[in-house]
Structure 1
Amino acid sequence: MAYNYVATAQKPTSVTHSLTAAFTGANDVNLLLAKSTRFEVHLLTPEGLFPQHDINLYGRIAIFEVFRAANEPQDWLFIVTQRFQFCVLAYDAATQQVVTKAHGNIRDSIGRSSEIVTTGNIDPEGRLIGMNLYEGYFKVIPIDNNKGILKETFNIRLDELRVIDIKFLHGYTKPTICVLYEDYKAARHVKTYHILVKEKDFAEGPWSQSNVEAGASLLVPVPAPCGGVLIVSNQTIVYHNGTSFHAIPMQSTVIQVYGSVDKDGSRFLLADQYGTLSVVALQFTGKDVTGVHLEVLGETSIASCISYLDNGVVFVGSTFGDSQLIKLNPERDEQGSYIEVLDTYVNVGPIIDFCVMDLDRQGQGQIVTCSGADKDGSLRVIRNGIGINEQASTELPGIKGMWSLRETFASEHDKYLLQSYVSEIRILAIGDDDEMEEKEIDAFLNVKTLYCRNLLGNAWLQVTEGEMRVISSESFQLASTWTPPAGSRITVAAANPTQVVAATSGGVLVYLEVHGDKLVEQSQVRLEHEIACVDMTPFTSSTRVGQAANGDGDVKMESSFGQHWELNALRSPICVVGLWTNFSVCVLELPTLKQLTKEPLGNDLLPRSVLCNTFEGEDYLLVGLGDGSLVNFHLDAATGALSNRKRVSLGSQPIALSTFRSKDMTHVFASCDRPTVIYSNNNKLLYSNVNAKEVNVMCPFDSESFPECLALASEEELTIGTVDDIQKLHIQTFHLNEWARRIAHNGQSHTLGVLTVNFSVDDNGDEVDQGFVRLIDDQTFEILNSYRLDPFETPCSIIVTPLTGDASNASYFVVGTAYVHQEESEPHQGRILVFSVTGIHGERKLQLVTEKEVKGAVYCLNAFNGKVLAGVNSKVHLYKWSENADNEKELISECGHYGHTLALFMESRGDFIVVGDLMKSISLLSYKQLDGTIEEIAKDLNSNWMTALGIVDDDTYIGSETDFNLFTVQRNSGAVSDEERGRLETVGEYHLGEFVNRFRYGSLVMQNNTASTINSSSSSDMVDVGQPSTVLTTPASHQSMLFGTVSGMIGVIIPITKDQYGFLLRMQHVLNKVLKGVGGFSHKEWRMFENRRSVSEAKNFIDGDLIESFLDLPKPQMAKVVELLNNDGHLEDKEPFTLEDLTNRIEELTQLH
């Protein structure tokens, strides 16, 4: 049996609906955005859009509208899902939460769903909600204006079956709709109806219009006082209100969405399929419209929705490209556009295809997606981790330590960068021309340096093995020194602006304070073992810092005029030391050096670096260990108590910890063979890999020439660079301005093969499609070369494979195409093209080696043991490579298999071939090498309309289908009868709620070696949160999978064992008792597998998003989950869970994706 854990790596990014409303407050201007299964609430502020809430729904949003209930100061939100559940949501400003006012199900037991779900479903007077959900029926939900509640729903018979659009009209005493429809002769008409709520029926409306333009596709209701409607066609816009009629022509296009600018309806924004934004303005005298005018404003992303915010600012939501915040200017710019883009919101949807690359061979993939469509097509590079954007780099081997120095303590920017080597130092300074140059400061000893920093006032501290030196940063003269006793040397040291602590040989720890330009010894203590590392970084909680700082007159004086953030981090009440021999950390009180806490780390776990830091108001102690793992604790600075111990494996080499600032937040950099940034989000510590192969030493270097940079030293070089935004996923965009359809990575030539389609409009106004095979560098994403396909030839599929019998042992790009003609229902001609990559570096090119004509569309290709499998219309073909004495190369058909409707997807393992059919679900074929034949050995008897296919293991296959479900089928290889062996049994079903386009093996997180939990008496609370050892152990031969969807959501599927499934299923049941879905929607119903033929409960899939939502619960609700889990009757003889244990387990899951 196959069990799988499904979680979200990237939330949906496509914006399907947007609204402007006063949702969070009567005077607020909110932007509400719907993104597939989520919606966001933003507040418009003078500084821009401020995100307030990101809310998950147990449903796919189909209708998303606002209305104002009677006597309510704020707008309410009305949502209908694609399964025809509805809810009414309001915002409670006191609790700052979304509350459910009403919910229900408006699904009918019979009836065919409408092909088009229209917007504008609420009567302008707030009397009722009306929707065309089923063909031939109009669903009505009356609103009780006295109580502000919804009444019982009913259907009204609608004679017009082929509805194009329906809108409510303004200005009528009875609720009135306008219907744009098409008759059986394909002629289009407009009709109006009054809705009679008591009679539950229609009455003839005030007017109708027969035979409007054939391309009419959109109705735009005009508010009072004018009323009426704009009928938008391909070439005209007509205003009609029954008595008045005004028409204007426009260039042929398809207007897809509109947005209202003025409340009186005098101006509307219109967006077409090419991303052109126009404004239509109505001229009126009194209540009468006297004219209609249209003007093109400029180009935006291809819009799916438009919301006018305020003062000429407009939000353009897109499902095909990035959403935009734009400003409409009164005058044209140099390009003739009225549009100024203020901000861009990344959208990686629709993900048509993607590949996973591990360029650094570190076990961590980065995804390259074919995203967007038409002119908004692009490649998106998505990786988990943080990028260092190099600003400067030089070869400087052997750096052992590195510190940045400011000219004075209060200076805002760093001026010098001091590097320590085995026996010398080197100082780099920012010169007058903003270049780095070497600087001699004689007061610094030119010997190995252990520590260096700015002290309060205008002084620098240098710590060497022989002494500590205080150096004036104004005169560059030595101000004072401190030396250890004769025969002793300093081994490690740490300091902050006002305090210094040093360890000397023999395990002696000395504490000194900075008094002016002198170091004054306050206390010393001999510890039981030699000291490995020490830290006294001040915590940045404002209350403690203020108390500590106000004790010193100098601090007050400096703080009054200083600008540097360290002025809020001057002193620490404690210091922390790590000890050799007994592998422990100790927290000591200052100034007495009295031991407050001692924490053994466990056998053979040597502390190599300790660091105190405040994350989101919580104080932590981080301990970097010699084996590349990190232990973190909550630290109470008042008592020195350590709690909530956790361990994560970052790499395999010793870790050095240091802090840096980014966007006014302090984060921690762990230097090791797999450098990592540690940061906090929602009071959880998160770990992001850095895209540098190895970092030995890091220090922040925030100079005027290199603002907010880091200095990074490896074995051979020094790099100065800026750091990406601190977040989990990073997305880079490479615009193609054409539709990217398929992608494959050739690691041998370091290139990507990308199939694209370029859309253009010819002189006759007809769309022309041109297909290309693009060769792109896998590092720079520069287009190196292109191969132009024939007219009417569309690219369909691409793979990279070596071919058996090829003398060059090269990896070839193999491309499948189809010739598409409008008069053909299915293509009857296509080609298989084989390309090699020739040349090096920027001279790499595609060279067509051979081509093979086929009788149909090559929907899919698969690399099959040095041969090529092709799905051509309804047949699976196997081609082998042939190379004759004249060096002529060609593909020769070896065998094939018929019996499919359309073979759209294909995967293989060994001699087994798994085929995903258009409507016949999954079938399993086997290649008989001796016979040279392909035969079917098993198939799924269900009718699933497939969208993607993957192989979980030798006997288990996963599919996605058009009703947004995932399912797994399994081969009955051990069954007794031929009938059972020939059937693929459905073993897993799950409603994902997303349209999946591709499965790929891979992971976005580092695949670390499993580390075992430490079994020492003092570390029972320690869990390896970075490893799958305690909660998720991937079964042998199973791989994690990534999938990409139309909404831009990226998910991960991780195979789990039966025991893990049992525990997580219990957790899922308990969470559903504690957590209630927004809008009253049920999680159990949401995850039910449902398609045209059946409905069944989810099985053998775990909802990872629900499981991981445990970490975002308030503590009382977390405790309730633990209590319910311990009392669910499945604990048996096992130890009951603690809150800490369960939190650790769930945190471990989050590290897997």
Structure 2
Amino acid sequence: MAYVAPIHRATSIRHAIRANVLDPEIDDLVVAKANRLEIWRLSEEGMECLQTKLIHGTISMLQRLRPKGSETDLLFIGTDRLQYFNLAWNPEMKQLDTIERVIEDLSEPYMRHSQSQNKCLVDPTARFLAMHLWEGVLNVFRLPTRKGSTNKLEILDQVRLTELFMKASTFIHSRTGHPTIAFLYKSQMEQEEARLAIYRLTHDDKGGVVSKFDPHKDRELDVVIPDPYASMLIPVPLDEEKRYHVRNTEGAKAHLGGLLIVGETLLTYYDGLTHRSVSSSLKDPRIFVAWAEYDGTHYFLADDYGRLDMLTIETNVEATGVVVTGMTLVPMKLGESPALTSRASSLVYMGNNTLFVASHHGDSQLYQIDPETNAMLLIKSLSNNAPILDFSIMDMGNREGDAQAGNAFSSGQSRIVAGCGAYQDGSLRSIRSGVGLEERGILDELDGTRGLFTLRSYNSDLVDTLVVSSITETRILSFDTDGGIEEIYSFQGMEQDTETLLASNLPNGQLLQITPKSVVLLDPESGVAVSRWDVPTGKSITRASANTKWALLSVDGTSLVSLNLLQNLAVNVQQTQAEPGSQQPDQISCIHAARDPPDIGVVGWWSSGRISLIDMATFQPLHGESMRQTDDSATVPRDIALVQLHPPEISGPTLLVAMEDGTVVTFNVSIKGFAVSGRKSVTLGSNPARLHVLPQDDGTSSVFVTTEHASLIYSSEGRIIFSATTADDATFVAPFDSHAFPDSIVLSTDSHIRICHVDKERLTHVKALPVHETVRRVAYSPGLKAFGLGSIKKELVLNEEVVTSSFRLVDEIVFKELGEPFLLNASSTLEIVECVIRAELPDAGGNLTERFIVGTSFINDGQVQEANGTLGRILVLGVDEHRQVYQIVSHNLKGPCRCLGMMDDYIVAGLSKTVVVYNYSQDTSSSGSLEKLAAYRPAALPVDLDISGNMIGVGDLMQSLSLVEFIPAQDGRKAKLEERARHYEPIWTTSLCHLDEERWLEADSQGNLIVLQRNADAPTEQDRSRLEVTSEIGIGEQINRIRKLHVPAGDNSIVHPRAFLASAEGSLYLYGDIAPQYQDLLMTFQSKMEEYIHAPGNIEFKLWRSFRNENRESDGPYRFIDGEMVERFLDMDEGKQELVCEGLGPSVEDMRNLIEELRRMH
């Protein structure tokens, strides 16, 4: 039985409006993200999310309505399953309530969906509502005016339209008060044109009878727009001044109050009363995608390339009123250059010169606008992963050959690297499980920090002093109980005119300060030095560490010194020894004095690359371990810590070693004999990491690691967690538990110091690298420690759109581009990357070598014929010692190569109408060939492949999944592909993945997930050739990619993680198999939860999660557990939890623990 849960929710914003929902005096921003409704409020600091509401349906419509006499707005919500309802804010309960009536769809079986997206229009009075749901049909609603029912929409009529091919529609402002609607349409599907039709919505003055929309009787206007590519209508409000009505319109001028038609080359304005028009040509052709009104004569326009313009309606005041004379378009500016925003799905002007750009293709943004200078300033950016086109799973743990035992996503050792966004908004994003840092304070103008230490002043019970060390001085900051900060120039006798290597309070009350020239014990009350040890003349302390008993020092990297803090700095000194076969003594690379046991020190060595555990009293070595796994390795330990990560009753100390190449190696340390075992390596960066120990109240410690991917290492349920953090710019970290900032940490960056609180709950953290191209395909090569990206670039060159495609290599840690991009330019028109995989293929000497295999397609307009009828290629690419990509094989195809896979040493390619198995051979270092071994013809078009052994899963564009077996050549017979099983149901496949044995996971374009199984042991051939559905659910989002996980199942685990799924809305899901002993319990539990979870619109959970496509619709999810649903149990009060668990078997506490374990998986 199957389980699916979101690990990162949808971030794409397709719908956004401005409305008075929570407060009649304040305009809020309401946005829709897949099945979540969010209400944001703007503030001086930026934006704050006030409300989040889960909807049982993907939101396809969002509008505001204003009932008569109401000071706040209603929200009108429509879902992709044609359910519609109103939400109103309940100020007493502080929640959004559903208005009693839920509108059901009034479609007939023969109706066709509208050619464009479903649209919802609201008239300027916010009382009438019209919906385009079906081709040639308009549904009309209104809010009644009688008391007691003003907020309940009533259906007026469903009318037929002769305007079938609708491009745009809108209500326009009317001087008569009658609702008036305009349609921009074309009369023929195949021919591009733009026609404008205007109708009165209702016949009677009361607005109760809907017009018949007869083109001969009811049309007020029907004209052809000169720009056939016009696609946007903007209603222009009426001027407040009284207008003189001219009955003879022949010589009349166009007055303010009407309609703007925005085309690619022409702007046209129509007077709403006389229908007189004014046109203005655009200097350059533009494709506009969104607009927002600034005021009655100024409008923001966003185009397909993210450019933002201010459209101004030029007017003159005459005796007849305000006359429109023309339109101008002026680009907005960011700094000195034209403004480039994310490609807008919606623009919302929020007042106070702030503009919100909602985006599906990139980050949504909030800008400050200066309309006089057309300048813009970015205030806030909301991260958006959508659409995720492809991703790879990078296991940062197990870097030393153990490739089989993968790490769970929740451990932080596994990260997802995804190609997100489109065109100029395209980016490569690293997604990891981690903890957040809540910023509590910031200290500016403190740069060049080389160390942070927190101290207690005399008689203080908590930390109240921060020591900031730089290369030339030590600065000391004192904090009062209210958070006030003062820099002090004398503190307990500390030296401040030199760098401080270490400062700490000792249990006996003394203060320890270590500088490059001395070690001093100070009396906190008098500031007098109790004991002092000075470095011999000409030498200096290069590294220092201390616990409550010992100070461990490295002097010039050649002498190891330990000072007994309890015996007036009694000294032990040992010179480093030369390595066998070397004349030079080994040098000390790092040292650490363990907190517990206090007599143990750890030393790292430069030349040998070893670590040594020593007794600090005698320097007697207790254990030594080489950190180099191979003879040619030159890596060096650069920082080290021996800490109690796990509770002492569970495990002994853990030794962490930060290596020069950015990896952190962990060992288990035995208390008896101090032997180390259980070596494990995790890559956290490409530069040496620093380890900062953060002691906890329970005797354990966590470790903050500062590097390119700053991480917090701690223990959870007996395993070590490497959580990502949001402090990638941190350089030094120290604990800071003070009166004003309890349970905090202080961290430094290159420019300032921050005080932060570490969140307890793990979240998903995203780090983005802008690429400004569509990253269509991502492949990860562990051997090369790099990602291969197949990308598409769209740009304007001399006002002409130019599209190019390339393959490039980027570093696995910081995503730095390696070498030059490999351009795909074999076509005389355009060659596009279709698929990229990584493989180990034999070179000319027969040795397996890392390669990238790229499938492409040629795009042309049918007028240009390629040589030899080539319509695609398969490329085999190598990477040389300079990290430059070069071509080994270019194999021409008669059609596009849509997908690729590896089957042992064979390459499997999904072409336009066939699946082909190729044998690869390399003749020289830069040349090779592909030999066709066998082929199979699917039902339509293969869109995805996955391979298990000799079985190839072929996901077809229209006809679901087929299993094809590869039979190698034998006994003189040629190799062949034979179909073994098929799913006999039309499904538009988007991605698939082999789970185990005979089970496969498939996703379709309607947002469904299906688990299919083949019964290979069935008695008849017919039964063996049929794939049966064992689980299915509606996700509500199109899944673009599924990647298999290789995580071993725990003995007592409830769910075994199997795969990650990425959607077009920016979501990431975890799919898993439920252990047999928990299946019935979780199914019953989910059913019980449905009774107590009530979503807006009263839409049933079963209906929301049911399988649905054009052929059938199920009653609910089949053998599928929705993790998001069952985890809502933890948000219930205890009374409801008891009701849910009644008759279930396990207690409330048992179910809480079980669900918390499920939540911790992601």
Q: TM-score, normalised by structure 2?
A: 0.72
Alignment map for 1:681-760 (pairs within 5 Å): 689-690=723-724, 699-700=734-735, 709=746, 726=759, 728-760=763-795
Instruction: Write the letter of the residue equivalent to 1:357.
Output: M
SS of the residue corresponding to residue 1084 of structure 1 reads helix
2:300 to 245, 269, 285: 269
User: Which residue pairs with 1:527 in the alignment?
Assistant: none
State the distance in 2 between where 1:993 and 1:450 align. 56
CA distance in 2, matches of 1:1150, 1:886: 50
Q: How far off is 1:459 after superposition?
A: 7.5
1:1032-1055 per-residue CA deviation (whole Å, 9 max, x = no partner) reads: 3x2xxxx52111111101111011
Q: Deviations over 1:121-160 (max 9, x none)?
A: 1122233211111001101123212221111353101111
What SS does the aligned partner of 1:860 have? Answer: strand
Candidates 380, 383, 388, aligned match of 2:429: 380
The number of residues matched between the two structures is 915
Give the corresponding residue for 2:586: none
Equivalent pair of 2:999/2:1011 in contact (CA under 8 Å):
yes
Alignment of 1:872-883 (within 5 A): 872-883=911-922
AA matched with 1:210: V
Q: For residue 108 of structure 1, what is the aligned residue in structure 2?
A: 107
Supply the distance in 2 between the matched residues of 1:937 and 1:386 (Cα, whole angstroms). Answer: 47
- Equivalent residues of 1:1061, 1:1102 under 8 A apart: no
Q: Deviations over 1:1087-1106 (max 9, x none)?
A: 11110000113202111000
- Report the equivalent of 1:258: 291
Counting only pairs closer than 5 Å after superposition, residues 808-957 of structure 1 correspond to structure 2 as 808-823=847-862, 829-839=871-881, 843-884=882-923, 888-929=927-968, 930=970, 931=973, 932-957=975-1000
Aligned match of 2:580: none
Counterpart of 1:316, as a letter, is V
- Determine the structure 2 residue equivalent to 1:202: 212
Aligned to 1:310, the other structure's residue is in SS state coil
User: C-alpha displacement at 1:114, in angstroms?
Assistant: 0.6
Quote the residue 1:1031 is aligned against.
Answer: 1054
Contact kept? 1:32, 1:39, Cα under 8 Å: yes
Residues 976-1055 of structure 1: pairs in structure 2 closer than 5 A: 976-1002=1019-1045, 1010=1050, 1029=1052, 1031-1032=1054-1055, 1034=1056, 1039-1055=1057-1073
Give per-residue Cα distances to partners, 1:162-193, cap 9 Å, x unaligned.
Answer: 11111111124322210111112543211011
* CA deviation profile, 1:702-745 (whole Å, cap 9, x unmatched): 99xxx964599xxxxxxx99989856111111111111111101
Q: Which residue of 1 aligns with 2:178?
A: 174
Q: Hey, what's the Cα distance between the residues in 2 that align with 1:48 and 1:814?
A: 45
Contact 2:510 2:522 in 1 (8 A): yes
Q: CA deviation at 1:878?
A: 0.9
| CA–CA separation in structure 2 for the residues paired with 1:656 and 1:1137 | 43
Q: Are the equivalent residues in 2 in contact too, given 1:746–1:811 (CA < 8 A)? A: yes
| Deviation of 1:367 (Å) | 0.9
SS in 2 for 1:1076: coil
Q: Distance in 1 between matches of 2:887 and 2:736?
A: 51
The answer to whether the 8 A contact 2:911-2:942 is kept is yes
Does the CA-based 8 Å contact 1:64-1:80 persist in structure 2?
yes
What is the 5 A alignment of 1:755-774?
755-763=790-798, 765-774=799-808
Q: State the shift of 1:46 in Å.
A: 2.9
Cα contact 1:6–1:1054 (8 A) shared by 2:
yes
Deviations 1:11-54 (A, max 9, x none): 11111111111111111221111111112111122332111112
2:468–2:476: 8 Å Cα contact kept in structure 1?
Answer: no
CA deviation vs aligned residue, 1:223-268 (integer Å, no higher than 9, x gap): 2334311111111111112433121122211111111122xx2221
Q: Call closer, same or farther: CA 1:473–1:1029 in 2, change over 3 Å.
A: farther
The equivalent residue for 2:609 is: none
Q: What's the offset of the Cα at 1:300?
A: 1.1
| Structure 1 CA distance for aligned equivalents of residues 199 and 425 of structure 2 | 40
Are residues 886 and 53 of structure 1, via their aligned partners in 2, closer, same or farther at CA, if it must alter by over 3 Å?
closer
1:840-870, CA deviations, whole angstroms, 9 ceiling, x for partnerless residues? xxx3111211211111101001011012111
In structure 1, what is the Cα distance between the partners aligned to 2:1015 and 2:960? Answer: 17
Match of 2:56 among 55, 58, 77: 58
2:168/2:185 contact within 8 Å kept: yes
> Does residue 415 of the first structure (1) align with residue 467 of the second (2)?
yes
Distance apart, 1:1084 and its partner CA:
0.8
* Equivalent residue, structure 2, for 1:190: 196
**For each residue in 1:973-1002, what CA deviation from the matched residue of structure 2 results, as whole angstroms up to 9, or x when unmatched?**
111221111111122211000111000123
Query: How far off is 1:407 after superposition?
Result: 7.0
Asked if 2 retains the 8 angstrom alpha-carbon contact of 1:754 and 1:773, the reply is yes
What's 1:1119 paired with? 1138
* Matched letter for residue 385 of structure 1: G
Q: Is the 8 A contact 2:436 2:763 kept in 1?
A: no
**Structure 2 partner of 1:46:** 44
Name the aligned partner's letter for residue 810 of structure 2.
Answer: I
- Give the secondary-structure state (helix, strand or coil) at the position aligned to 2:1081: helix
Match of 1:10 in 2: 8
* Residue type at the aligned position of 2:467: K
5 Å-filtered alignment, 1:362-373, equals: 363=407, 364-373=413-422
Offset of residue 289 of structure 1: 3.1
In 2, distance between residues paired with 1:668 and 1:126? 60
| 3-state SS in 1 of match to 2:424 | helix
Q: Is the 8 A contact 1:106 1:153 kept in 2?
A: no
User: 1:58 Cα shift?
Assistant: 0.8
CA change 1:393–1:1051 in 2 (3 A) is farther
Structure 1 residue aligned with 2:20: 22
What SS class does the counterpart of residue 737 from structure 1 fall into? coil
Distance in structure 2 (CA, Å) of the matches to 1:667 and 1:118: 60
Alignment check: 8 A CA contact 1:37 1:61 kept: yes
- 1:599-618 → structure 2 map (5 Å cutoff): 605=650
8 A contact 2:120–2:129 mirrored in 1: no
Deviates further, 823-832 or 1112-1121: 823-832
**Maintained 8 Å contact 2:1007/2:1035:** yes
Residue aligning to 2:79 = 81
Contact 2:734 2:745 in 1 (8 A): no
- How does 1:309-324 map onto structure 2 within 5 Å? 309-324=350-365
Gaps of 5+ in 2: 240-255, 333-338, 399-405, 408-412, 440-446, 478-490, 496-500, 514-519, 532-546, 550-594, 599-645, 655-666, 671-677, 683-690, 739-743
Q: How far has the Cα of 1:657 moved from its partner?
A: 8.6
The one-letter amino acid paired with 1:338 is A
Structure 2 vs 1, CA of residues 1120 and 804 (structure 1 numbering), >3 Å: closer, same or farther? Answer: same
Q: Once the 2 structures are TM-superposed, how far is the Cα of residue 477 of structure 1 from its aligned partner?
A: 4.0
SS of the residue corresponding to residue 367 of structure 2 reads strand
Q: CA RMSD in A?
A: 4.6
Equivalent in the alignment of 1:154: 157
**CA drift at 1:387:** 9.3
**What does residue 552 of structure 1 align with?**
none
SS at match of 1:270: strand
Q: Distance in 1 between matches of 2:200 and 2:913?
A: 51
Q: Is the 8 A contact 2:143 2:153 kept in 1?
A: yes
Contact 2:839 2:902 in 1 (8 A): yes
SS of match in other structure, 2:780: strand
Deviation (angstroms), 1:1069: 1.0
Of residues 1147, 1150, 1157, the one that matches 1:1141 is 1150
Structure 1 residue matching 2:108: 3-state secondary structure: coil
Residue 220 in 1 paired to residue 220 in 2?
no
| Counterpart Cα distance in 2 of 1:450 and 1:741 | 50
Structure 2 SS opposite 1:952 = strand
- Give the Cα–Cα distance (whole angstroms) in 1 for the partners of residues 681 and 817 of structure 2: 38
Contact 1:833 1:848 in 2 (8 A): yes
- Measure the CA separation in 2 of the matches of 1:882 and 1:163: 55
Bigger mean CA offset, 737-746 vs 278-287? 278-287
Q: CA deviation at 1:104?
A: 2.6
Change (3 A) 1:1078 1:492: farther
Given the alignment of the two structures, is residue 472 of structure 1 paired with residue 524 of structure 2, yes or no?
yes
- Cα deviation code 1:517-539 (max 9, x no counterpart): xxxxxxxxxxxxxx9999xxxxx
**Could you say if the C-alpha distance between residues 822 and 412 of structure 1 is closer, same or farther in structure 2, counting changes exceeding 3 Å?**
farther
